[in-house]
Chains A and B, each alone.
Chain A
Amino acid sequence: MANDNSTTNYQWVGKRTRRPDGVDKVTGRARYGDDMMVPGMLYAKILRSPHAHAKILSIDTSKASAMKGVKAVLTSAQIPDHPLSEPPYAPIINDMHDISRNVMARDKVFYDGHAVAAVAATSERIAREAIKLIDVEYEILPHVLDPREAAGPDAPVLHDDQFTYSADGLSEKPSNLFRSITGHRGDLEKGFADADVIIEREFTSEPVHQGYIEPLACIATASEDNCVELWTTTQGHFVIRALCAKLLNMDLAKIRVTASEIGGGFGGKNTVYGEPVAIRLSQMTGRPVRMVMTRTEVFRASGPTVGSRTIIKMGAKKDGTITAADAETWYQAGAFKGAPVGRAVETYFSSYTIKNARACVHDVCVNRPKVAAYRAPGAPMAAYAAEGVINELAVKLGMDPVDLRMKNAVREGDESLMGSKYGQIGLVDVLEKVKSHAHYAAPLGKNQGRGFALGYWMHGGGLSSVSAHLLDDGTVTVATGNPDIGGSRSSMRVMAAEELGIDIELIKPIVADTGSMGYSHLTAGSRTTFATGLAVINAVREIIEKLRTLAAKKWEIPVEDVSWEAGLAVPSTSHNGLQALSLKALAGMATKMGGAIAGHSEINAGGVGAAFSAQLVDVEIDPETGFVTPLRYTVVQDVGRAISPDYVEGQLQGGAVQGIGWALNEAYIYDDQARLQNTGFLDYRMPVASDVPMIDTVLVEVPNPNHPYGVRGVGEPCLVSAPAAVANAVENAIGKTMSSLPMSPPIVLKGIEQVQASQVGSD
């Protein structure tokens, strides 16, 4: 069925409706990962390496095992190994060799906080004491954190079985550089030769954490018939099932995973940490095992995003045409390969029709935790560099920064650096809305600056399954396999109601466990409203087909003569005397006339769409201390169609504030032994309510032709341009380009002093 996105006369889509799970969350009734209790459960604790890089010479668990109340002690010996040669396990594309070692260190530890052993005991107190009794002998090795240094020939090598993988084959010697991805088009030399202005810069960004408030938590219950029930906080319980099964050599059907409510994820809960260990401990003890990370463990051991180093060069003509762009970036993958280098190349320069462009991004192992996704993984750092240079180009060319973007903006038919062709996109609309926004023209005061940046992200499609059931009384249940992070149950209900033509209150959306539903990929990649929504629509349309058939049977007319309008089966006008039948009426008849009515859909959604997020931010600086106050913030983003506008706005606002934190104060701070110094919210400084202003949002709707309601993913694009926009505002306030994140007060003050010094010098 072709998508008709011309209509905007919806009953539910686009309205501000109440979310179905909200009451449980405002009353404390909702159950998150650590809110479950299973009778007889044991408490697990993990012993973690205090060294950033070391060989494990020996582990003596005897004293821990002997402690009263300890029921099992585990090391990597109890976790199956997976050879490097085993192909990555699709559809998750994870290397089980690496996952096995990240979950529990084998011969070496690769970061401060790396799991080395685990204990299950009758109380948390005993478990905490027991791990202190495990003796580990380490041989400390030199460490490396900087990715450029780590990719070089003299760096300490983390894995002696990892070689650099390139088109020419494998490198001769082991290397921390796993691979580099390059996107390339045109002729760079010519492009730079054509330029009137060329800018070359280097940028650095420190690693940051997703900052979810709920630590990782799970309870695993293994039974004697090789089955496991797992309760966990995750963005994808099907992925968790797959990783646990593959890692522990178990059958998929024998592991049943229930996703708890999730207290934030942002990509960080897309993979396993404690689950396989909890399962093994449960198998070893015959009792349920609860494993919860402390806040310190979350920072030391869960996957943050990459830190980056970038060398970038861009050239433009006087009229603003960007003629060439070339970026080389090193990403810190952490202890194991897998930095989001492909995504970075896809998003580099992707908002612009630059004829001659190249982006080369390196996936480099360093001695810190294995990175996980964080809201548009790989893109914000690339945007920080690219947008930083483009903003400087605007200044050098004497051109309005939005006009410069407009001059080079991609339109339908243009391509990204990796060759993805854009369909109908809303970039030009977004830029026009920025220019005409009151914020853009508002005057600035003393010590104030304004920043602008643009970000691009392609949202995912992928596997989603949905099962919808029409009940006797005309109410409907819609079950999906996607944990609800940001209000997706609300959007599912809205789309189902729109299709069926009934009140949203008659529809109950739920998140089903892995035993009750077909495979559904992560709630991530801004894919859920799009892909799972598509599956909901398909499943509900199947119900509608069955209702039409039922009505046709009841009326004894051909089914072609029955249409579905506004919640009613309507006979065509050629059948006089027949009254339309409501969904409720038909529902009541169904079980007596053939059987219960249900619809289901298992899809692999294509139609990946592109979304652009422009951000405008004003800041004020204290010139004597370098303190930065964000004053005003506007996000203008193409959202395709806002199914639930409240929650779309919420995504944009949340992404903007994460960007403020990333730009100003968030960073992992290490000592000279590469031990993490800021393992809590005191010194990992995320924005608090008094740090930020209201975040205004403008939802531009250029419908995505690949979705019945025109949905584009919204959750990620809003972070892509945020750090760059804030950084640009600070630059503007100071009057100097800056090149590293975070721009904490000492950095800002230094910049201010450099400007003052140069002004004095020029007097």
Chain B
Amino acid sequence: MAKHHITTNINGDEVDFSCYAGQTLLEVLRTELGMTGTKNGCGSGDCGACTVIVNGRPVNACLVLGVELEGADVETIEGMAEGTTLHPLQQKFLDHAALQCGICTPGILNMAKALLEKNPNPTETEVRYGLAGNLCRCTGYDKIVRAVMDAAAEMRADG
């Protein structure tokens, strides 16, 4: 079976790749493109470790097919910082110790970023429900929620 040739935009760069019809975006990122920042925790949309942003929407990369991405805009963790300047969320996660093993962190950062783009002033409950699709087993979520709220406040202050 022939592969599909797809041209897409990843973190602002035009990228092209070949994939089989059945290959997910997660496989394409990790295996075809070597972008291992997006993690595989379950492959079935239950853990959120593979959360990326496609055309402005947070999605599980394991539930998107590579072939759908012609002309799409994809944002992964590798593009979250601007050069060597960390995104406020990344900074706050470090400041608040909002990660331990770090495996869920890329997915959570992407989800939080998408959340704050839609709702720049979320309540604690909104943050918790917003992150309900991202499992974390190490932190108990406490410091993650604090980091997101703090980043939101800083991002609002910066306008």
The interface of chain A, by Cβ under 8 A from chain B, is: 16, 18-19, 22-23, 25-32, 34-35, 37, 210-215, 261-266, 294-295, 485-487, 646-647, 649-651, 653-658, 680-682, 686-690, 692, 694-695
Given contacts A28-B38, A694-B145, contact A680 B139 (CB under 8 A): no
Q: Are A266 and B137 in contact (CB under 8 A)?
A: yes
- CB-CB under 8 A from A22, the residues of chain B are 93-94, 99, 102
Given contacts A27-B81, A261-B102, contact A689 B44 (CB under 8 A): no
Task: Kindly list 10 other residue pairs between chains A and B, CB separation below 8 angstroms, not including A26-B86, A688-B132.
Answer: A25-B102, A28-B38, A28-B77, A213-B136, A266-B137, A647-B100, A658-B137, A658-B140, A688-B133, A692-B140
B73 to chain A, nearest CB (A): 18
Given contacts A25-B105, A215-B41, A695-B140, contact A681 B135 (CB under 8 A): yes
Annotate B29-43 by CB proximity to A: 1 below 8 A, 0 otherwise.
Answer: 010001111111111
Q: Are A213 and B100 in contact (CB under 8 A)?
A: no
B97 touches which of A647, A688, A694 (Cβ 8 Å): A647
B15 at the interface (CB under 8 A from A): no
Chain B stretch 110-142: residues in CB contact (< 8 A) with chain A? 124-125, 127-129, 131-142
How far apart sit A210 and B44, CA to CA, in the bound complex (Å)? 19
B80 at the interface (CB under 8 A from A): yes
Chain B stretch 71-109: residues in CB contact (< 8 A) with chain A? 76-78, 80-81, 86, 90, 93-97, 99-106, 109
How far apart sit A657 and B42, CA to CA, in the bound complex (Å)? 20
B144 at the interface (CB under 8 A from A): yes
- CB-CB under 8 A from A653, the residues of chain B are 139-143
Q: Are A213 and B103 in contact (CB under 8 A)?
A: yes
- CB-CB under 8 A from A680, the residues of chain B are 42, 44, 46
Q: Are B128 and A689 in contact (CB under 8 A)?
A: yes
How far apart sit A77 and B82, CA to CA, in the bound complex (Å)? 54
Q: Are A646 and B101 in contact (CB under 8 A)?
A: no
- CB-CB under 8 A from B76, the residues of chain A are 28
A720 to chain B, nearest CB (A): 16
- CB-CB under 8 A from A30, the residues of chain B are 102
B49 at the interface (CB under 8 A from A): yes
Q: Are A690 and B132 in contact (CB under 8 A)?
A: yes
A657 touches which of B34, B105, B128, B140 (Cβ 8 Å): B140
How far apart sit A486 and B143, CA to CA, in the bound complex (Å)? 14
Interface-centre pick from B34, B39, B78, B131 (highest chain A CB count, 10 A): B39
Interface residues on B, range: 35 or more
**A646 nearest in chain B by CB position:** B97
- CB-CB under 8 A from B81, the residues of chain A are 27
B63 at the interface (CB under 8 A from A): no
Given contacts A27-B80, A656-B140, A681-B46, contact A487 B100 (CB under 8 A): yes
Q: Are A650 and B43 in contact (CB under 8 A)?
A: no
How far apart sit A451 and B132, CA to CA, in the bound complex (Å)? 26
Q: Are B109 and A264 in contact (CB under 8 A)?
A: no
Q: Are B135 and A214 in contact (CB under 8 A)?
A: no
B47 at the interface (CB under 8 A from A): yes
**A682 nearest in chain B by CB position:** B46
How far apart sit A411 and B11, CA to CA, in the bound complex (Å)? 59
Interface-centre pick from B77, B93, B133, B140 (highest chain A CB count, 10 A): B140
- CB-CB under 8 A from B86, the residues of chain A are 23, 26-27
A759 to chain B, nearest CB (A): 34
Q: Which 10 A-B pairs have the closest CB atoms?
A: A28-B37, A263-B103, A25-B102, A657-B140, A646-B97, A653-B140, A28-B77, A681-B46, A35-B36, A295-B42
A388 to chain B, nearest CB (A): 23
- CB-CB under 8 A from A263, the residues of chain B are 39, 41, 101-104
Q: Are B101 and A686 in contact (CB under 8 A)?
A: no
A211 touches which of B94, B102, B137 (Cβ 8 Å): B137
Interface-centre pick from A262, A263, A646 (highest chain B CB count, 10 A): A263
How far apart sit A25 and B102, CA to CA, in the bound complex (Å)? 6
B48 to chain A, nearest CB (A): 9
A213 touches which of B104, B109, B125, B143 (Cβ 8 Å): B104
How far apart sit A29 and B43, CA to CA, in the bound complex (Å)? 21
How far apart sit A58 and B105, CA to CA, in the bound complex (Å)? 46
Given contacts A264-B103, A689-B132, contact A28 B36 (CB under 8 A): yes
- CB-CB under 8 A from A212, the residues of chain B are 101, 103, 137
Given contacts A26-B105, A214-B103, A689-B131, contact A486 B138 (CB under 8 A): yes
Q: Are B43 and A294 in contact (CB under 8 A)?
A: yes
Q: Are A682 and B100 in contact (CB under 8 A)?
A: no
Give me 10 A-to-B residue pairs in the complex whose CB atoms sit less than 8 angstroms apart, sorted by A's number.
A22-B94, A26-B105, A27-B81, A27-B90, A28-B35, A210-B137, A211-B135, A261-B101, A681-B44, A694-B145
Q: Are B97 and A213 in contact (CB under 8 A)?
A: no
B142 touches which of A34, A295, A486, A695 (Cβ 8 Å): A695
How far apart sit A692 and B139, CA to CA, in the bound complex (Å)? 12
How far apart sit A327 and B80, CA to CA, in the bound complex (Å)? 54
**A262 nearest in chain B by CB position:** B101
How far apart sit A655 and B141, CA to CA, in the bound complex (Å)? 11
How far apart sit A215 and B133, CA to CA, in the bound complex (Å)? 18
**B44 nearest in chain A by CB position:** A680
How far apart sit A691 and B49, CA to CA, in the bound complex (Å)? 18
B60 to chain A, nearest CB (A): 12
Q: Are B102 and A31 in contact (CB under 8 A)?
A: no
Given contacts A28-B77, A485-B101, contact A214 B36 (CB under 8 A): no
Q: Are A264 and B137 in contact (CB under 8 A)?
A: yes
Given contacts A26-B109, A28-B106, A646-B97, contact A686 B135 (CB under 8 A): yes
How far apart sit A649 and B143, CA to CA, in the bound complex (Å)? 9
Given contacts A264-B137, A690-B132, contact A215 B40 (CB under 8 A): yes
How far apart sit A695 and B139, CA to CA, in the bound complex (Å)? 10
- CB-CB under 8 A from A688, the residues of chain B are 131-135
Q: Are A27 and B103 in contact (CB under 8 A)?
A: no
A654 touches which of B90, B95, B138 (Cβ 8 Å): B138
A509 to chain B, nearest CB (A): 16
- CB-CB under 8 A from A692, the residues of chain B are 140-141
**A37 nearest in chain B by CB position:** B34
B158 to chain A, nearest CB (A): 19
How far apart sit A152 and B122, CA to CA, in the bound complex (Å)? 57
- CB-CB under 8 A from B127, the residues of chain A are 689
A681 touches which of B47, B106, B131, B138 (Cβ 8 Å): B47
How far apart sit A213 and B42, CA to CA, in the bound complex (Å)? 8
B32 to chain A, nearest CB (A): 11
A218 to chain B, nearest CB (A): 15
Given contacts A26-B86, A214-B41, A654-B137, contact A31 B128 (CB under 8 A): no
How far apart sit A34 and B50, CA to CA, in the bound complex (Å)? 13
- CB-CB under 8 A from A485, the residues of chain B are 100-101, 138
- CB-CB under 8 A from A37, the residues of chain B are 34
- CB-CB under 8 A from B135, the residues of chain A are 211, 213, 681, 686, 688
Given contacts A18-B94, A23-B94, contact A654 B100 (CB under 8 A): yes
B15 to chain A, nearest CB (A): 16
**B20 nearest in chain A by CB position:** A125
**B133 nearest in chain A by CB position:** A688
How far apart sit A120 and B27, CA to CA, in the bound complex (Å)? 19
**A484 nearest in chain B by CB position:** B101
Q: Are B131 and A213 in contact (CB under 8 A)?
A: no
- CB-CB under 8 A from A649, the residues of chain B are 97, 143
How far apart sit A682 and B76, CA to CA, in the bound complex (Å)? 24
**A681 nearest in chain B by CB position:** B46
Q: Are A213 and B41 in contact (CB under 8 A)?
A: yes
Q: Are A32 and B37 in contact (CB under 8 A)?
A: no
Annotate B49-82 by CB proximity to A: 1 below 8 A, 0 otherwise.
Answer: 1000000000000000000000000001110110
- CB-CB under 8 A from A654, the residues of chain B are 100, 137-140
- CB-CB under 8 A from A682, the residues of chain B are 44, 46
A312 to chain B, nearest CB (A): 29
Q: Are A28 and B137 in contact (CB under 8 A)?
A: no
**B107 nearest in chain A by CB position:** A213
Interface-centre pick from A18, A25, A653, A689 (highest chain B CB count, 10 A): A689
**A124 nearest in chain B by CB position:** B31
How far apart sit A737 and B37, CA to CA, in the bound complex (Å)? 47
